[in-house]
Structure 1
Amino acid sequence: MPKLGLGTWPMLGDECTDAVVQALELGYRHIDTAAGYNNEAAVGKALEQSRVAREQIHVTSKVWWDKLQPADMRASFEATLHALRSDYVDLFLIHWPGKDWDLAKTIETLVSFKEDGRARNIGVANFPLPLLKKVVEELNAPLAAIQVEYHVTLGQTALLDYARQHDMALTAYSPLVRNKVSHIAELQQIAAKHGVLPTQVALKWLLDQANVAAIPKAASQANQQNNLEALKVQLDDEDRALIAGLPKNQRLVNPDFAPQWDA
């Protein structure tokens, strides 16, 4: 999985299709979508239109938290493949933990998608550490990735340590703090020092970490290119110390169906 991907939420329709086609032209090879974003069909259209071969593109999608009964999951997965116009997905995730669900049956169904080859890899998103441990250690699920909110003002040390111990990727969503990084004085200072943008500093801080990928949403060519250019930024120990001093408890995404994060 390429460390830098394109997040597609909340883009819809032609805006989403055009953004994905453009990103692939620029050199992106990692696209993130989900049934819950209502844009899988737009991404599928882009994959079909693109001159880049499907097998060169890593596509992640996800099943929504209210579709985790086995029959519902299978129907959702079939709909995802149909929308993406593909007979497989590179990474398929449970988007959020369910409510009053049979975890073992849900994970068994997820694993079946990997076993039949239609999901090259499987994982979960927004699972707190105790639940992730249960899936990996008690249910023996061969997870390849966990996707969570992670950025310069929200720490994920425990999850990242666990992911590394189990050879999993941690994909950071909202890596630019919904563009708030541009207004953080410490990032402005680092950016000025290197002659780059605060967004590029925030991205490179993530991408420099072992096992971490990031999926910033970007619709315009300029923003997509700027995010790609972040890969060239060279941060030093002084920069990392400045970022380490930022608060690490600023969670943006916490819907009413979210789990207890510290449970």
Structure 2
Amino acid sequence: MALPRFGLGTFRLTGQSVIDSVTTGLELGYRAIDTAQIYGNEAEIGEAIAASGVPRDQLYLTTKIWIDNHAPDKLAVSLEESLARLGTDRVDLTLIHWPAPGHAVPLEQTIEALAKAKSAGLTCAIGISNFNIDQTRRAIGVVGEGELATNQIELSPYLQNRKLVAFLESRGIAVTSYMTLAYGKVLKEPVLETIARKHEATVAQVALAWALQRGFAVIPSSTRRENLASNLLAQDLELSHEDMAAIAMLERNGREVNPEGLAPVWDD
């Protein structure tokens, strides 16, 4: 199955809140769900999926390997534990969550272990998250061209990551945008508000539509049914060339997520 363009993010959602979000999302038509080992919500997501009645083959599940499990003798074992929590025999996509350059395990060993997990049938596709250009090149060097389904990176109108995006596109690696609303900061952006009024849309829809029209996949999250439903409508919003040009001018290197020891040196 190809990487879906629109999915449901679950970062910072735990317990009943993630059960409710996934349950509602599935009712509204979401079929791609993004989680991670470090989110601590895989079991609850599995519970919500099981209760939904949506057939497994209609879903696209993504999880991410945490840095504690980068070692070759830990990666597949940890992924099997994720599968047990999710209540499935495989996920559709597994990502290395952070490159963690200060970590003891060489990147190449981690990527090789991830490829072996795919060969073992634990995941249908593999990819990376928060990798810069050099690290992505190194990952390609291990698995070859065409094997990395995506690089999931922080992208928003305030952080457009043009160098990295151009490189990924040149290598045929899909871009997944997370934090597309910049922790909600873009929702008060006057330029986006003007565009939203013109289209009778919400600012969130405009930001998501911008990412979609750039060719990115998006994974917004929410605990509110009205927001989950509203976000989906971004897929039907067509921004003009003038709109896209105005949003391009909002770049300000507004990075929200940059954990020390996990994040790489970013490409300027």
TM-score, normalised by the number of residues in structure 2: 0.94
1:247 paired to 2:217: no
Q: 2:210 aligns with which of 202, 205, 208?
A: 205
Pairwise CA distance, 1:66: 2.4
The one-character-per-residue Cα deviations of 1:170-207 (angstroms, maximum 9, x if unpaired) are 11110111111210010001001111111100000001
Match of 1:191 in 2: 196
The one-character-per-residue Cα deviations of 1:218-259 (angstroms, maximum 9, x if unpaired) are 111101001001111121011111101112400000111222
Distance in 2 separating the partners of 1:86 and 1:138: 28
1:228 paired to 2:217: no
* Count, aligned residues: 262
1:116 paired to 2:143: no
Amino acid at match of 1:57: L
The 5 A counterparts of 1:71-220 are 71-98=73-100, 99-137=103-141, 139-140=143-144, 142-210=147-215, 212-220=216-224
The 5 A counterparts of 1:44-59 are 44-59=46-61
Pairwise CA distance, 1:24: 0.8
Change (3 A) 1:42 1:138: closer
1:238 paired to 2:246: no
Distance in 2 separating the partners of 1:104 and 1:177: 31
TM-score, normalised by the number of residues in structure 1: 0.96
Structure 1 window deviating more from structure 2 (134-143 vs 77-86): it is: 134-143
Distance in 1 separating the partners of 2:252 and 2:57: 37
Checking the alignment, whether the CA contact within 8 Å between 1:104 and 1:139 is kept in structure 2 is no
Amino acid at match of 1:13: G
The one-character-per-residue Cα deviations of 1:122-181 (angstroms, maximum 9, x if unpaired) are 001011111101111355272111101011110122222222233221111101111112
Distance in 2 separating the partners of 1:168 and 1:25: 30
* Long gaps (5+) in structure 1: none
1:60 paired to 2:65: no
SS at match of 2:191: helix
Root-mean-square deviation (Å): 1.4
SS at match of 1:71: coil
Structure 1 segments, 4+ long, off by >6 Å, are none
